[in-house]
Structure 1
Amino acid sequence: MDKIAQDVGDIQSRLLDHRPVINAEIRYFVREFEEKRGNRESRLLENLNKMVLETNEQMLPTNLEAMSQQLSGISKRLEAANHMAERVQQRELEAHQSTQLQANMQRLKDEWAEFLREQQRLKEEVDEEHNMAVGQVSTQYSEMKKDLTKLSPL
């Protein structure tokens, strides 16, 4: 019975226990990676790191200098463009003010002409009223003169 239990245990371990198979696969993978490839990946990473460092040391200062020169040129051009835009705005404002001033002058001329016409009309009305009053007074005096001549015995 012991032998049967031992055989059943061996069969169970072969069927259900995968540790030996997994251990063998891990050993194969490690051996394949380390022996065949060696340290190729680490050497590639080290080479890339060296290239990046050299690029930073050599290219970064020249790129920074070139960028600063370009930025100063761009800054000067932006200042010039800003100055030109301000001049255009100033001219536009002056033109607008000039047209507004001309419009105001024309409006004032029109108002002055209207005022003069109104004054002329009022003058004519006053002259007409004056002439009517003079005519009434003249007729009144001439009637009074007639009445006086009628009343006086001479």
Structure 2
Amino acid sequence: MTCLEFVNMDRIIKDVGDIQSRLLDHRPIVNAEIRYFVKEFEEKRGHREMRLLENLHKMVQETNEQMLPEDLEGMKQQLSDVFGRLEAANHMAERIQQRELKAEQSVQLQENMERMKEEWADFLKEQQRLKEEVEEEHAKAVGQLSTHYSEKKKDLDKLLLDV
């Protein structure tokens, strides 16, 4: 590369830098806007905003000192009323829940009683059937024993007759 080319490259680089600073560097514009805002706010308007803010601050302090205690008392009273109502509603809900629980238990108790009656009836039927089986077996055993002893008695009578 020649010296002339280097000089041209330097000029191109400088031009690109200038274009870049104009396009991307916004500091001069922002600084100008800030100066304009400060000038507008401080010089033209004076301290009007400051006075307005001070007046607002005084009004807020007076409101806090006067109205806040009254409002707090009112809120406390309303909260105690609401709390009392909530307690009453809670008590009523508990009573309703107890009634429902009793009714549910009553229904369950009734169902249990019906089921137990059915089971008791089945148990009695089974006991009756077992009793009949035992009586039948007993009658058979008595019959067999009677037959056996009557045969023995006949054998004994024969032996006594033969003697």
1:139 to 136, 147, 156: 147
User: TM-score normalized by structure 1?
Assistant: 0.66
Give the Cα–Cα distance (whole angstroms) in 2 for the partners of residues 128 and 37 of structure 1: 124
1:123 to 123, 131, 134: 131
1:60-75 aligned at under 5 Å gives the runs 60-75=68-83
Matches within 5 A, 1:88-99: 88-99=96-107
Which structure 1 segments of 5+ residues have no match? 1-21
Question: Whole-Å Cα distance in 2 between the matches of residues 32 and 144 of structure 1?
Answer: 143
Cα separation, partners in 2 of 1:144 and 1:39, compared to 1, 3 Å: closer
The one-letter amino acid paired with 1:41 is E
Aligned equivalents of 1:123, 1:43: Cα separation in 2: 111
What is the alpha-carbon distance in structure 1 between the residues aligned to residue 41 and residue 157 of structure 2?
161
User: What does residue 39 of structure 1 align with?
Assistant: 47
Residue 8 of structure 1: aligned partner: none
Q: Matches of 1:108 and 1:31 in 2, distance apart?
A: 96
State the AA in 1 paired with 2:42.
F
Structure 2: distance between partners of 1:32 and 1:129: 122
The aligned residue for residue 7 of structure 1 is none
> Displacement of 1:148 after TM fit?
5.6
TM-score by length of 2: 0.63
1:44 maps to amino acid? L
Match of 2:117 among 102, 109, 114: 109
Q: CA deviation at 1:83?
A: 0.6
**Residue 59 and residue 134 in structure 1: after superposition, are their counterparts in 2 closer, same or farther (change >3 A)?**
same
1: distance between equivalents of 2:40 and 2:106? Answer: 92
AA of the residue aligned to 1:128: E
In the alignment of these two chains, the number of paired residues is 126
* 1:56-85 CA-partner distances (Å, limit 9, x unpaired): 223212211221121011101110111112
The whole-number CA distance in structure 2 between the counterparts of 1:110 and 1:32 is 97
Aligned AA (1:64): L
The root-mean-square deviation of aligned C-alpha atoms, in Å, is 2.8
Q: Distance in 1 between matches of 2:113 and 2:150?
A: 54
1:93-143 per-position Cα deviation (integer Å, ceiling 9, x unaligned): 222322232233223222322221122111101111122122223333444
For structure 2, the 5+ residue unaligned runs are: 1-30
**Residue 86 of structure 2 corresponds to residue 78 of structure 1:** yes
